[in-house]
A = this chain, B = another copy of it.
Amino acid sequence: MSQERQSSGVRRSVRVGVIGGGQLGRMMALAGIPLGLSFRFLEPKEDPPCASVGEVVRGAYDDPDALDRFSDGVDVITYEFENVPVDSAKRLSERVPVYPPPMALEVAQDRLVEKETFRELGIGTAPYRRVDTREELDRALVELGMPAVLKTRRLGYDGKGQAVIEDPDSAAAAWDRLGGRPLILESFVDFERELSCLAVRSRSGELRVYPLVENAHTDGILRESRAPAPGITAERAREAAELVERLLDHLDYVGVLAVEFFDTEEGLLANEMAPRVHNSGHWSQDGGGVSQFENHIRAILGLPLGDPRPIGWAGMVNLIGGIPPRGESLGAGGARLHLYGKEPRPGRKLGHLNTRAETLEGLERRLAELGEIAARYGEG
């Protein structure tokens, strides 16, 4: 299409390339198409969620030929998952601007590098140890105590690649399952809740911070978010924003960055970061401000950013493993439905429901109703 229009002398629209064809890319496109942009996705799987909102270049993320076809004629490239091969991002960035910068991928793809980066910047984390051998695991367990969590340094998500160690037996079992790969042992954090802070920084340097979000997980999968996090003090909110800004500066970051924190009696401890739009920011689509998806797109194009604040209180419930009938979802008070076009499978994120309310009590009532619907049809 681009070629056709160009050769006829008619101007073509700005085209955004997205590595990955899942729901996050789909929602980016739904936010970007109204800005007059068109989208192209690089995706190895057939019939991905993004197929309805742009062109799909089918190919592996590390296939040079696919990367070339993908990047040919796009104006800017971003990604919707953090396990994009760094070499691919670097290759692409020689031809087209790639945001967030590939360095953010390098940090986010390795839990050890990530934690060391947090520490360097004065951002608190749970105590941790690098673990490459069984001996290092034993020593780390002595130093950190039990319970502790053994994690692969790479390629873990939604609670996968993790094992809780409570005693010598579970240490052996964890090693049998995960050993042989680069690992990290982390102290078990006694936290009150998990918070996340999303911020967005534009090519121009403009910065906006979304309010702190409270997240509820089950089995390592996000179930619900509330924004702003209920009962948060202004100091805590400023602290989170300040820590995330340090990361943005350090990484010379462009786009949306999400950082997950444990909220503890001693303060915020950073758990991990995601160099992309994030499930805990989905409420922003219907919160009354500018969504994380639109602000991410604005940021990578150097456009002015929009107000990230919700009007009143906003919340989200994930639809996992099963999809309620549309009528039931939309019949709930103030529900907004977002489906991803994916086939149901236990434990799979298939969509989410957003809602907002003037008061926290109103939000809680609405989230309870939505959570009940999600649970009735969900699996895993």
Q: Which residues of A contact B (CB under 8 A)?
A: 1, 5, 10-11, 13, 26-27, 30, 33-36, 38-39, 47, 51-54, 288, 290, 298, 301-304, 306-307, 311, 323, 326-327, 330-331, 334, 336-341, 343, 351
Contact = CB atoms under 8 A, between A and B. Distances in A.
A53 B33 contact: yes
Contacts of A306: 330, 334, 336
Given A298-B330, A304-B330, 4 more contacts: A26-B33, A30-B33, A52-B53, A303-B327
Contact of A47 (B5, B30, B35, B302): B5
A36 B330 contact: no
B307 A331 contact: no
16 contacts: A1-B47, A13-B341, A27-B34, A30-B30, A33-B53, A34-B337, A34-B338, A36-B339, A36-B340, A36-B341, A38-B52, A52-B54, A301-B326, A306-B330, A306-B334, A307-B334
Given A52-B38, A288-B288, A330 B351 contact: no
Nearest to A328: B304
Contact of A327 (B27, B54, B304, B307): B304
Contacts of A290: 336
Contact of A351 (B26, B36, B302, B304): B36
Contacts of A35: 326, 337, 339
A295 to B, nearest CB: 10
Contacts of A54: 52
B288 A304 contact: no
Contacts of A331: 304
Contacts of A341: 13, 36, 38
A369 B343 CA distance: 46
Contacts of A39: 52
A47 B351 CA distance: 31
Nearest to A333: B307
B304 A36 contact: no
B343 A10 contact: yes
A350 to B, nearest CB: 9
Nearest to A330: B304
Contacts of A5: 47
Contacts of A33: 26, 30, 52-53
Contacts of A53: 33, 52-53
B311 A330 contact: no
A302 to B, nearest CB: 8
Contacts of A13: 341
Contacts of A38: 52, 341
Nearest to A352: B34
Contacts of A30: 30, 33-34
A303 B288 contact: no
A290 B39 CA distance: 26
A341 B13 CA distance: 8
A325 B91 CA distance: 31
A39 B339 CA distance: 15
A344 to B, nearest CB: 9
A330 to B, nearest CB: 5
Nearest to A4: B47
A86 B202 CA distance: 50
A217 B7 CA distance: 38
B288 A36 contact: no
Contact of A36 (B47, B302, B326): B326
Nearest to A358: B311
